[in-house]
Amino acid sequence: MRRQPPGRSSDSKAAAIALDRAVPDRRGDLSDADLRAVGDAGHGDAEIVAHVALNVFTNYFSRLARTSIDL
pLDDT in tens, 24-57: 889 889 888 888 888 888 888 788 788 888 988 9
* pLDDT given at position 1: 46
pTM over 0.75: no
What digits encode the pLDDT tens for the residues 11-23?
Answer: 778 888 888 888 8
pLDDT band at 10 (very low <50, low <70, confident <90, very high): low
Rg of the Cα trace of the chain? 15
Measured distance CA(24)–CA(53) in Å, rounded:
9
Domain boundaries, the chain: 12-64
